[in-house]
Chains A and B, each alone.
Chain A
């Protein structure tokens, strides 16, 4: 099929419909508004449910309810709205339900700005709400990748009975890129025999809850949930490297989403302007984070340093330090509050690190 030019938010919404999303519950906030707008028009056309909820809190709890009934449910928002959803996300994770959540993140804290940001990394990868839980976090850098990841997200959510978060930034939602709608292989998924859809001849109703009032029982539940995250780390790690294999980079840029694309351009500029060979390590799963894979690259002879490049004041850099674990010095370069690093800023900073002494 011929490629089409799609806006990120609209493409993500269409991808969810193609992935069999049964129910979408949302609430407006820039820069993700085209997702609920698209869903409001197209979900009913497919005989599916669209509800503009009265708040973000309501929307995520509608997702909780629909997911408990075995439906493929999704919500989307942007940073402040995602903060509001955290209670519901914690309950969904505690109740072991599949759900897909899109964060088209913007600058914070608080209401911040409507411009693109990556300052929700901590919130996304460390759980965000109360209790010992994690969401699987997928970070696209292009609209094609966003479309593919959204469709994967529904399968991964079903496979692990856990919420999956697509962490994109406003730039991904607002830009236009050519995409191709690929024929996707059918994935075998476990039956939803836990769904609260009636007794169906069983002795007891299925009961969906995050309440485990008995402490030993609650601990066992936590251990069980943790074992799923261990399995994710074994089976679901995704990342990409550029300029790392057979090219002996002096410096590694670690970056995801929009800033990874800026780093890609910065790698070319480093070579042209400074004669420095640089490589890119781009995690696609932010949780689970590909720690060992980054460690191996940082441990190669010739690598002088690793720089975490982000649209934040330094969040993923914590995981980069855990991954590198002393194999090379780790530096950070970031712009915050809706400002986007330029290719020159990244290249110049990386060059100063290679020449010695820059950064923290």
Chain B
């Protein structure tokens, strides 16, 4: 299957938002690993202040091994659910040699943290990408997906420039699950005029999809349950 992260034509800073449970963190970790193969200084900023578990900082060792700098709350606060932003985040805005992915906490509540950085974000080459999972009850309809995307965009004061269709049912995902998600993502794109950045799926499923007009990003699951490790 042909996929290069270069096909996504990402800006210097990619801001990954979405409803809780859309799969933002899994996508962000996969994107960071893909970018690490092309970019000299990849950075993943875990800015999730909503979830106490399943955060990208849990994959600190893997990211370090691949040369990806992780910006997250200090190790002392790793297990805390403090709504604090790491000071190192400033480096993402100040240092133009970095290629950054910002992994934002779920829904409007999680996206709120970005509002304070709005002027600095707007001064950069950046894009906000909305991760859509059509299997989550709140975003399983066009109406729900619209409410979620627009709510997040509003609270940040930043427009969404791309839709990432990451529709999945965890370990029970099938090709049909993804195809249903593609239909929903296309409807959302048509309604809002926001283009689809890509569809993402675990590699063994991605390769079974019929040809799509948008890139298909094959992913590996890194955010596993303890019994899968």
Contacts and interface: CB of A to CB of B under 8 A. Distances in A.
Interface in A1-21: 3-7
A30 B82 CA distance: 11
Given A261-B227, A340-B226, A6 B137 contact: yes
A175 B53 contact: yes
Nearest to A177: B170
B136 A30 contact: no
Interface in B151-197: 168-172
A123 interface: no
Contacts of A340: 226
Contact of A4 (B52, B53, B80, B136): B136
Interface in A175-216: 175-178
The B interface, classified by DSSP as helix, strand, loop or mixed, is: loop
Interface string A257-289: 010011011000000000000000000000000
A343 B81 contact: no
Contacts, number: 71
B54 interface: yes
A341 B229 CA distance: 11
A17 to B, nearest CB: 13
B21 A262 contact: no
Contacts of B135: 3-5, 178
Interface in B16-58: 20-21, 51-54
B228 A265 contact: yes
A49 interface: no
A174 interface: yes
B107 to A, nearest CB: 10
B79 interface: yes
B150 to A, nearest CB: 18
A70 B52 CA distance: 36
A4 B137 contact: yes
B64 interface: no
A343 B140 CA distance: 34
Nearest to B167: A5
B10 to A, nearest CB: 26
Interface residues of B, number: 24
A249 interface: no
Contacts of A63: none
A242 interface: no
A146 to B, nearest CB: 14
A174 B25 CA distance: 14
Interface in B67-115: 79-81
A171 interface: yes
Contacts of A31: 52-53
B52 A174 contact: yes
A262 B170 contact: no
A88 interface: no
A313 B146 CA distance: 48
A174 B106 CA distance: 13
Contacts of A177: 170
The A interface, classified by DSSP as helix, strand, loop or mixed, is: mixed
Contact of A343 (B20, B21, B133, B229): B229
A261 B224 CA distance: 13
Residue of B54, B79, B80, B227 with most chain A CB atoms under a 10 A cut-off? B227
Nearest to A113: B79
A102 B172 CA distance: 27
B116 interface: no
A258 B79 contact: no
Contacts of B227: 258, 261-262, 264-265, 343
Contact of A5 (B52, B54, B133, B226): B133
B53 A171 contact: yes
Contact of A342 (B53, B79, B140, B229): B229
A170 interface: yes
B169 A3 contact: yes
Interface string A327-352: 00000000000101111000000000
A342 B225 CA distance: 10
B226 A30 contact: no
A115 B170 contact: no
Contacts of A264: 227
B81 A114 contact: yes
Contacts of B80: 114
Contacts of B140: 4
A31 B54 CA distance: 12
A5 B134 CA distance: 9
Contact of B226 (A6, A113, A178, A258): A258
A113 B80 CA distance: 8
B214 to A, nearest CB: 22
Given A30-B52, A176-B21, A262 B226 contact: yes
Residue of A7, A116, A170 with most chain B CB atoms under a 10 A cut-off? A7
A170 B20 contact: no
Given A4-B136, A115-B53, A170-B53, A261 B225 contact: yes
A114 B171 CA distance: 26
A265 B229 CA distance: 9
Given A113-B79, A170-B52, 8 more contacts: A175-B225, A177-B170, A178-B170, A178-B171, A178-B172, A262-B226, A340-B226, A343-B227
5 contacts: A3-B169, A5-B169, A264-B227, A265-B227, A265-B228
Interface of B: 20-21, 51-54, 79-81, 133, 135-137, 140, 168-172, 225-229
